[in-house]
Structure formats: structure tokens, C-alpha cells
Amino acid sequence: MKIISSTQQVPEVCDVPKHVAIIMDGNGRWATKRHLPRTAGHAKGVQTVRNSIKYFGELGTRYLTLFAFSSENWRRPREEVNLLMRLFVQALEQEVDELKKRGVRLRVIGDISRFEPKLQAMIRAAEQNTAHNDTFHLTIAANYGGRWDILHAIEQMLLDNPSLVKNPGSIDERALSPYLSMAWAPEPDLFIRTGGEQRISNFLIWQLAYTELYFTEKFWPEFDRADMAHAVDWYRHRERRFGRTSAQTPAETEKVT
């Protein structure tokens, strides 16, 4: 697939979002409302992860990117961070074979060097194990931050092209974007955040430039298929102008399906 930058070219708009990016928020509040420990919300949230992979896979979405742990989530109580890491290990142990069979390619984006060596090894193994798959691309953002992503890309770009330091004016999107962590995927068409907050929380700040942003009050553990369908339906009714006027934008009927 040829990757198109939304700021360099107007991308083709399809009825089915090619790439959906989700901030899975509200696990803690879901649990607290039920007088359960916050960690119960995280455990329950894993089921919604399974459901969302299934739902968007069936819909025809090719790329699903889930924010599992932000670079700022280390600020949480140690027990909660530990539980989240344990859930991550458990999910890798339990799910990877099934994902592999179903044609899912799994990738993790973020600075994984801060994780325990065992978890790092499991992540690399899972990525290698599914590297030949192309039906569905599942990406987990773990110890990910949008600012980290951009800084890391700049560092890698300069390491590869040291001469750019003397010629900074030649640095453009084309030079930088191959080094961003999702360079291989189209930019997200639809962003979903559950849990009621209307913010990006340092998720894919570069890649979300022209993404449609959908927010819902539903907590992640209770976000079901009907809610997913509602988000997709909302997306279908957006007029994606990419800077153009309404008159220049193809009508609904002309949309590529």
C-alpha cells in the first residue's frame, strides 16, 4: 500500500475507515463505580480489546492501533503499573497464537527499552511470529508518547543523514516521516476515545493531523459492538475536507467504498 501524507496530498476517503486508533480510557472509573479495584477494570478491558479486534476485522478495517500504556502512565501507583505489565505479558502468552492463525500482524510502538527484559523478549518474539501476516495490522502503543515518537524520529533521521545538520532547510516531511513509528501505516481515519475525556493525552500527535476525532462517555470495559458501530456510523457522516471547501469535496455517493 502506498502511504499518503494528508498534508502533502488529499487521501482517498472510504466508507470503512482503513485505520482506527483508540484511546482505551475509563477502566479505572468503570471498576470504581462497581466498588471494584481499578485493576479489575483493566482485566475486564482486555475483553473489549478482543471484541474490537474482531469487530474492526470483520468491518474491513486493516489497521487498528490501541493505546495501552502512555509514557506518562509510569506516574501511577507502582502496584497498578505492575498489574498492567502482568496483563500485557498474559495477553501476549494467551493471544499471539490465535492472532497468528487469524492473519494478524502484531506490532508494538513506543520505547520498550524501559520494560523488563522478559517482556521485551516476548514483544519481539510476538512481532517476529506474526511478521508474515498482512490481513490485519494490530498495533499496541506501550510506553508510547507522541512527543517521544517525533523526537526519536528526528534522532534516527540525523543518525542516517548527518549532513542534514548542516542543511536544516532541506528537512521536510518526506525526510522525517519514514522514521516515525507508524511510517508503514496510513494515517488514522478515525480516532476513538472512550471514558468521556476529550483530549489526545500525547497519543499519535503527528499522525492524527487530519483524523476524525470521536469521543464517547462509555467506559472502555463496557464499549460494545453497538458502540463501535455507532462510532463508525458517525465517521461515515463526516465531510473530510483536508483544507478544501465543501464544494470541492466529493459527495457521499462518490465516496470510494
Spot the catalytic one: 25, 143, 149, 189.
25
Which CB, 72 or 93, lies closer to Mg ion? 72
**Smallest distance from the beta carbon of 76 to ligand IPE, in angstroms?**
8
Should residue 68 be labelled a site residue for ligand IPE when binding is judged by CB under 6 A? yes
Q: Which residue out of 51, 73, 129, 202 is catalytically annotated? A: 73
Binding string to ligand IPE for residues 166 to 205, with x set by CB under 6 A, is what?
A: -----------------------------x-x-x-x----
Active-site residue 73, yes or no? yes
- The site for ligand IPE, by CB under 6 A, has a size of 17
Evaluate whether 211 touches 13 at the Cβ level (below 8 Å). Answer: no
Min CB(51)–ligand IPE separation in Å: 16
Single out the residue of 21, 23, 99, 138 in contact with ligand IPE (rule: CB under 6 A): 23
Residue owning grid cell 502468552: 93
| R_g over Cα of the chain | 19
**Residue 27 touches ligand IPE, criterion: CB under 6 A:** yes
Amino acid type, 107? R
* From the list Mg ion, ligand IPE, none, partner contacted by residue 24 (C-beta under 5 to 8 A by kind): ligand IPE
Q: How far is the CB of 158 from ligand IPE (least distance, A)?
A: 29
Q: Is 86 in the site for ligand IPE (CB under 6 A)?
A: no
Selected binder of Mg ion within 18, 25, 106, 207 (CB under 5 A): 25
20: Cα separation from own chain's centroid: 7
Q: Does the footprint of ligand IPE cover residue 24 (CB under 6 A)?
A: yes
C-alpha cell at 5: 501524507
DSSP labels for the chain? -----TTTSPPP-BSS-SEEEEE---HHHHHHHTT--HHHHHHHHHHHHHHHHHHHHHHT--EEEEEEEETTGGGS-HHHHHHHHHHHHHHHHHHHHHHHHTTEEEEEES-GGGS-HHHHHHHHHHHHHTTT--SEEEEEEEEE-HHHHHHHHHHHHHHH-GGGGG-GGG--HHHHGGGSTTTTSPPPSEEEE-SS----TTSSTTTTTTPEEEE-SS-GGG--HHHHHHHHHHHHT----TTS-GGGSPPGGGSB-
From 5-13, 21-29, 178-186, 246-254, span contacting ligand IPE (CB under 6 A):
21-29
Least gap, CB of 194 to ligand IPE (angstroms): 8
| Residue 23 binds which entry of Mg ion, ligand IPE, none, CB below 5-8 Å type-dependent | ligand IPE
Residues noted as catalytic? 25, 73
Contact residues toward ligand IPE (CB under 6 A) are: 23-29, 67-70, 73, 84, 195, 197, 199, 201
